[in-house]
């Protein structure tokens, strides 16, 4: 599965279904999501066995609605900075939805501190996460350090 | 290395093992400032039709 959206890495994602973007959905009310949008989301992903959903903007109801669906396997937030990371991870953990997303760094936060903070947050909430870090080192040796650190904390 | 990574991802999607971390590839300084192209567009039409070619063009740098 190739996500795109500034994410050139390929991801082995068996049974992911189909990737969809629902940016416009953030502009409508929860009632309209239920009545107008949701039937079409389900119809579009069901033939593929599920969906991986991206959207930009902020809409708490949409996020929760996506998490509640057995058809939604993973969610990517285009604007994770608009959300409380703990809230997002808790919703994902409750519903066994994978968060495939960036999580913003705190101002001035270094890559080691960032990896520790987010890693422990993932561990505490019990969420399953594919993190695209927003701060990261420049050398491959340092990248291996944060990769090992991430796996140690979240494993 | 690829098979190890596939196995790691397979376990992840089964709910086993650590979460995953995707560190952006390429020149990290340029990447962080947005000055570098995120996608290579060479032969993109062919790659679009051929997942294996697309995968080859998007491989993650290995430590």
Is the alpha carbon torsion for A126, A130, A136, A142 positive or negative?
A: positive
CB of A42 closer than 8 Å to CB of A71: yes
Question: pLDDT value at position A1?
Answer: 57
Query: Residues of B at the A interface (Cβ-Cβ below 8 Å)?
Result: 5-6, 9-10, 12-13, 15, 17-25, 28-29, 38-39, 54-55, 58-61, 63
In tens, the pLDDT along B13-57 reads 888 889 999 887 654 444 444 444 445 667 777 877 888 887 777
Question: pLDDT value at position B1?
Answer: 58
pLDDT averaged over every residue in chain A = 91
Question: pLDDT value at position B11?
Answer: 87
Taking 90 as the threshold, does the pLDDT of residue A75 lie above it? yes
CB contacts, 8 Å: A119 with chain B = 19
Per-residue exposure over A44-61, b if at least 16 CB sit within 10 Å of its own CB, e if not: ebeeeebbbbbbeeebee
Q: Where is pLDDT greater, at A103 or B14?
A: A103
Q: Where is pLDDT greater, at A3 or A73?
A: A73
> Which residue from A minimizes the CA distance to B27?
A138
Q: Where is pLDDT greater, at A55 or B52?
A: A55
Q: Of A14-18, A28-32, A47-51, B54-58, which gets the smallest average pLDDT? A: B54-58
pLDDT category of residue A5 using cuts at 50, 70 and 90? low
In chain B, which ranges are continuous DSSP H helix?
2-13, 28-33, 44-49, 51-57
Residue B6: count of CB within 10 angstroms of its CB: 12
Binary contact (A11, B9; C-beta < 8 A): yes
Q: CA-CA distance, A108 to A126, in Å (whole number)?
A: 27
Q: Of A137-141, B6-10, B58-62, which gets the smallest average pLDDT? A: B58-62
Binary contact (B28, A9; C-beta < 8 A): no
The reported pTM is 0.79
> Phi/psi at A41 (nearest 5 deg)?
-60, -50
Taking 90 as the threshold, does the pLDDT of residue B58 lie above it? no
């Amino acid at each position: 599965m190739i996500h795109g959206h500034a994410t050139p890495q390929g991801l082995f994602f068996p049974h992911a279904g189909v990737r969809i973007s629902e940016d416009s959905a953030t502009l409508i009310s929860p009632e309209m999501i239920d009545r107008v949008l949701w039937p079409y989301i389900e119809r579009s992903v069901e033939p593929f066995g599920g969906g991986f959903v991206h959207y930009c903007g902020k809409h708490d109801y949409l996020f929760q609605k996506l998490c509640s669906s057995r058809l939604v396997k993973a969610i990517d937030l285009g604007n994770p900075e608009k959300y409380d990371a703990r809230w997002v991870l808790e919703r994902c953990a409750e519903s066994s939805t994978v968060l495939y997303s960036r999580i913003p760094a705190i101002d001035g936060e270094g890559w080691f501190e960032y990896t520790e903070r987010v890693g422990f947050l993932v561990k505490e909430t019990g969420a399953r996460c594919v993190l695209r870090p927003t701060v990261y080192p420049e050398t491959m040796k340092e990248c291996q350090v944060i990769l090992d650190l991430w796996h140690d904390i979240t494993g | 290395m690829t098979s190890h990574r596939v196995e790691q991802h397979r376990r992840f999607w089964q709910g086993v093992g650590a979460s995953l971390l995707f560190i952006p590839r390429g020149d990290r300084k340029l990447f962080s400032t947005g000055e570098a192209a995120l996608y290579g567009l060479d032969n993109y039409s062919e790659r679009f039709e051929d997942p294996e070619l697309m995968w080859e063009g998007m491989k993650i740098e290995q430590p």
